[in-house]
Structure formats: structure tokens, C-alpha cells
């Protein structure tokens, strides 16, 4: 068994995900991250939730504000890739055309990440503890639960969404 997000997956399921040319969007980064790193990130999230178990509503709301500003893997990759593409394009136009090689390489890696969920900087980004959007969302949902947001009962999807967005 392997922990993948908040669910355990057996070796057969992991092999199935990895065989797919395009893995499920919410699982592609975690499938391409080592078990050890995924566990460390999940443990940190659990520790964060544990810290906020017995605090007041204001502290929980402040935690949600922090989580809403947290940079995720996608944002870090996009910011780094666009910076490298911009700089290498400018250098290619002004200094030496060989800089366009970097532009092409970074563009290819960004496409590879979009399709497969992996690119060369991803292991470094994950080692830095950067979480996926889903991992951040899981903590936000847990904090909202601790705050009491889900005591509201309704079958109306619009009302449910409004309650979840109480931050």
C-alpha cells in the first residue's frame, strides 16, 4: 500500500496510473513524487491541522487566509518557467541566439509537466515542501471543518458551495 494524498493506493492501482499516457490531473504530481516526500508533506499537513484543532474561529479564519496565499507546485513551476523563458528570449534576441535553446527546453519541460505531471525541477520543488493545489485544498477543507463550516445541512448545491467558501 502507498499513501497518495488522503487515500491509500495499492501497487496495482499505482501501476495502472503510471501506465496511462496522461495520468489523472489531481494525482499526476504525487505519482511523480517519491513515497518518502509524499509522506513528509502529508505529515506536515496533519501536523498543521493538529495545531489548529483547539483554537478559536478567528485563528482558523487566519489560517485559511494563509492557505489561500500559499504557492502550490503549479504556481511555482509556472512562475519559474515563464521567468526563464522571458530572460532566455531577451538574451537570445540581444546577446546570442543560443539562448533560444533554453527557451525551447523550458517550454518542452512545461508541456511535459502539463501532460505527465513531471518535469526536471519538480523533485526540487517537492523537496522544498511545496504542495499541490489538492494538498492545500485538503488542509483548507479540514480547517473549515474544524471551524464548524460543515455543521450546516442542505441538499442545495449552491448553498453547500457557499458554506464551503466561507473564508
The better pLDDT of the pair 46, 151 is held by: 46
Strand partners, 3: 8
Q: Which residues lie below 8 Å from residue 41, measured CB to CB, with a gap of 6+?
A: 33, 126, 129, 131, 135
What is the reported pLDDT for 94? 97
Rounded Cα gap, residues 144 and 160, in angstroms: 13
Band (pLDDT 50/70/90 cuts) for residue 131 is very high
Each residue's pLDDT tens digit, 66-110? 999 999 999 999 999 999 999 999 999 999 999 999 999 999 999
SS3 4: strand
What is the reported pLDDT for 15? 63
Percentage of residues in the chain having pLDDT higher than 70 = 78
Q: Tell me the whole-structure pTM to 2 decimals.
A: 0.77
CA distances from 145 to 47, 52, 157 (A): 16, 11, 17
Compute, in degrees rounded to 10, the torsion defined by CA atoms 124, 130, 134, 137: 180
Amino acid at each position: 500500500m502507498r499513501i497518495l494524498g488522503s487515500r491509500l493506493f495499492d501497487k496495482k492501482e499505482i501501476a495502472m496510473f503510471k501506465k496511462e499516457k496522461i495520468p489523472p490531473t489531481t494525482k499526476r504530481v504525487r505519482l511523480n513524487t517519491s513515497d518518502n516526500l509524499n509522506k513528509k508533506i502529508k505529515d506536515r499537513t496533519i501536523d498543521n491541522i493538529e495545531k489548529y484543532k483547539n483554537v478559536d474561529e478567528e485563528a482558523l479564519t487566519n489560517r485559511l487566509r494563509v492557505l489561500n496565499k500559499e504557492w502550490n507546485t503549479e504556481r511555482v513551476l509556472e512562475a519559474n518557467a515563464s521567468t526563464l523563458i522571458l530572460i532566455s528570449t531577451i538574451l537570445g534576441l540581444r546577446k546570442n541566439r543560443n539562448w533560444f535553446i533554453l527557451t525551447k527546453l523550458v517550454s518542452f519541460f512545461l508541456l511535459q509537466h502539463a501532460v505527465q505531471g513531471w518535469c526536471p525541477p519538480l523533485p526540487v520543488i517537492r523537496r522544498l515542501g511545496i504542495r499541490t493545489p489538492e494538498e492545500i485544498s485538503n488542509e483548507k477543507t479540514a480547517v473549515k471543518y474544524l471551524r464548524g463550516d460543515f455543521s450546516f445541512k442542505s441538499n442545495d448545491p449552491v448553498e453547500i458551495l457557499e458554506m464551503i467558501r466561507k473564508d
